[in-house]
């Protein structure tokens, strides 16, 4: 009985064609080398995306191996497993299309992509040229793959082939309002170079204004990272292009981003005392490594004369835009410490009154008569 089983196994192995042996060898090798191959061609910082691509690649290899093995088990006659052979060839076509597409994307990104530094790391991202050429290659290879799969499936007549292609064309035409605006907007954003990976932007979501870093601009959407709350935001490219967008990373001058902080201080505090507090805060911030451009002096100007207090504006320059919120928080804390040390109150007074005899400023609730 064991001998019969061995003979049956030998017969199955002997029935394999050259094409099937080639598919087994190639898919087995790719299955073992899938991780180094994809890490070289499809390197990405997104671990979830990298894991998905690796699993999809391996899954297709395993599916092809199982299909070949199923054909061997079901029968030795090629006619009995003709549909399995067609399925294997269609899967092989899809796999070749997928691999060729990824290789084309890798080559175009290397040739026409843009290298930039994000958080101190050099990343390679798509440019308008690489994205447009990739779309053209994707369309061309998709048509070739579809025609090849139709021919393998047995739709040999011109009427059958054009019927399948016509169905696909009608489907794309009916759904173009869902994907075409985002695709076109993504190309416009890349071409204008107003929004690039790593840039810090300000966007308004309803009544909330958020400061976000651009993580990735994809075909149909853009991934943002909310700097304050540290979470991902996905917005469509068409929506993003229609919004007023403040790109804080695109400086208007070489000085960097000009930041302004406002403080309300009572009328009784002399301007020299306010400037002394600001200068001391700047010196303390620079000493502690707060990213302020030290070569450009901090501006301390009177912004508004209110009914109850003077509003002073303190301006400084910074190029560490990604740390913008932290810098503002730290600088406010230094202002508070120096104000307490200098005896300057940052609390907004309720009001002031003038002593008619001396002309001096007195608190509104001092009990003295107003002029």
Domain ranges of the chain: 2-113+129-154, 257-354
Q: Please calculate the CA angle 190-195-198 and round it to the nearest 5 degrees.
A: 115
- For residues 143 and 186, what is the distance between their CA atoms, to the nearest angstrom? 23
Is residue 169 within 8 Å of 187, Cβ to Cβ?
A: no
pLDDT band at 41 (very low <50, low <70, confident <90, very high): low
Range of weakest confidence among 9-18, 263-272, 322-331:
9-18
Over residues 209-234, mean pLDDT: 87
Q: Which residue has the higher pLDDT, 351 or 338?
A: 338
Per-residue model confidence (pLDDT) at position 155: 66
Over residues 32-43, mean pLDDT: 72
Give the closest residue to 200 by CA, choosing from 214, 186, 217, 216. 214
Q: Please, which contacts does 129-132 make with residues 24 or more away whose CB atoms are closer than 8 Å?
A: 131/186, 131/187, 131/190, 131/219, 132/187
With a CB cutoff of 8 Å and minimum separation 6, the contacts of 172 are none
DSSP state of 269: S
Q: Which residue has the higher pLDDT, 249 or 366?
A: 249
If you average pLDDT over every residue of the chain, what do you get?
77
Give the distance from CA 362 to its chain's centroid. 56
Per-residue model confidence (pLDDT) at position 370: 40
Most confident of 67-76, 156-165, 183-192, 350-359: 183-192
- For residues 90 and 88, what is the distance between their CA atoms, to the nearest angstrom? 5
Supply the CATH classification number for the domain 257-354.
3.30.70.100
Whole-model pTM? Answer: 0.63
pLDDT for residue 313 is more than 90: yes
- For residues 63 and 5, what is the distance between their CA atoms, to the nearest angstrom? 26
Per-residue model confidence (pLDDT) at position 294: 84
3-state secondary structure of 207: coil
- 319-356 burial string, b = 16+ CB within 10 Å, else e? eebbebeebeebbeebbeebbeeeebebeebeebbeee
- For residues 294 and 67, what is the distance between their CA atoms, to the nearest angstrom? 67
Range of weakest confidence among 159-168, 252-261, 266-275:
159-168
Give the closest residue to 259 by CA, choosing from 195, 213, 199, 323. 323
- For residues 85 and 192, what is the distance between their CA atoms, to the nearest angstrom? 49
Range of weakest confidence among 30-34, 82-86, 319-323:
82-86
Per-residue model confidence (pLDDT) at position 371: 39
- For residues 163 and 301, what is the distance between their CA atoms, to the nearest angstrom? 73
pLDDT band at 78 (very low <50, low <70, confident <90, very high): very low
With a CB cutoff of 8 Å and minimum separation 6, the contacts of 184 are 238
Q: Please calculate the CA angle 255-284-226 and round it to the nearest 5 degrees.
A: 60
Range of weakest confidence among 183-197, 330-344, 355-369:
355-369
Backbone φ and ψ for 315, nearest 5 degrees, come out as: -115, 140
With a CB cutoff of 8 Å and minimum separation 6, the contacts of 325 are 211, 227, 228
Q: What does the block give as tokens for 206?
A: 């309803």
pLDDT for residue 214 is more than 60: yes
Residue spans of alpha helices (H) in 43-157 = 47-74, 82-112, 128-153
Place of tokens 């899938």: 34
């Amino acid at each position: 009985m064991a001998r019969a089983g061995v003979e049956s196994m030998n017969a199955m192995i002997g029935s394999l064609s050259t094409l099937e042996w080639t598919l087994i060898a190639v898919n087995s090798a790719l299955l073992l080398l899938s991780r180094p191959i994809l890490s070289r061609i499809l390197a990405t910082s997104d671990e979830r995306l990298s894991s998905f691509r690796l699993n999809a690649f391996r899954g297709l290899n395993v599916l092809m191996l199982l299909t070949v093995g199923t054909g061997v088990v079901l029968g030795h006659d090629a006619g009995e497993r003709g549909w399995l052979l067609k399925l294997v060839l269609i899967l092989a076509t899809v796999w070749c299309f997928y691999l060729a597409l990824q290789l084309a994307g890798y080559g175009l990104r290397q040739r026409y992509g843009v290298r930039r530094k994000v958080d101190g790391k050099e990343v390679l991202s798509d440019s308008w040229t690489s994205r447009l050429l990739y779309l053209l290659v994707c369309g061309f290879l998709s048509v070739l793959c579809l025609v090849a799969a139709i021919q393998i499936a047995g739709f040999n007549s011109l009427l059958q082939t054009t019927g399948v292609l016509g169905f696909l064309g009608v489907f794309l035409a009916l759904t173009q309002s869902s994907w075409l605006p985002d695709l076109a907007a993504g190309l416009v954003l890349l071409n204008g170079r107003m929004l690039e990976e790593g840039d810090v932007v300000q966007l308004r979501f309803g009544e909330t204004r958020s400061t976000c870093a651009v993580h990735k601009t994809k075909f149909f959407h853009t991934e943002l990272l909310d700097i304050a709350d540290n979470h991902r935001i996905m917005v469509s490219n068409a929506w993003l292009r229609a919004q007023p967008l403040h790109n804080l990373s695109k400086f208007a001058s070489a000085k960097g981003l000009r930041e302004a902080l406002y403080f309300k201080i009572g009328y009784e505090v002399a301007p020299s005392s306010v400037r002394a507090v600001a200068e001391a805060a700047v010196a303390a911030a620079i000493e502690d490594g707060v990213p302020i451009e030290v070569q450009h002096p901090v501006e301390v100007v009177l912004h508004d004369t209110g009914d109850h207090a003077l509003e002073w504006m303190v301006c400084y320059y910074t190029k560490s835009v990604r740390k913008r919120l932290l810098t503002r928080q730290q600088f406010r804390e230094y202002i508070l410490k120096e104000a307490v040390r200098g005896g300057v109150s940052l609390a907004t007074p309720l009001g002031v009154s003038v002593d008619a005899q001396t002309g001096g400023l007195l608190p509104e609730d001092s009990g003295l008569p107003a002029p």
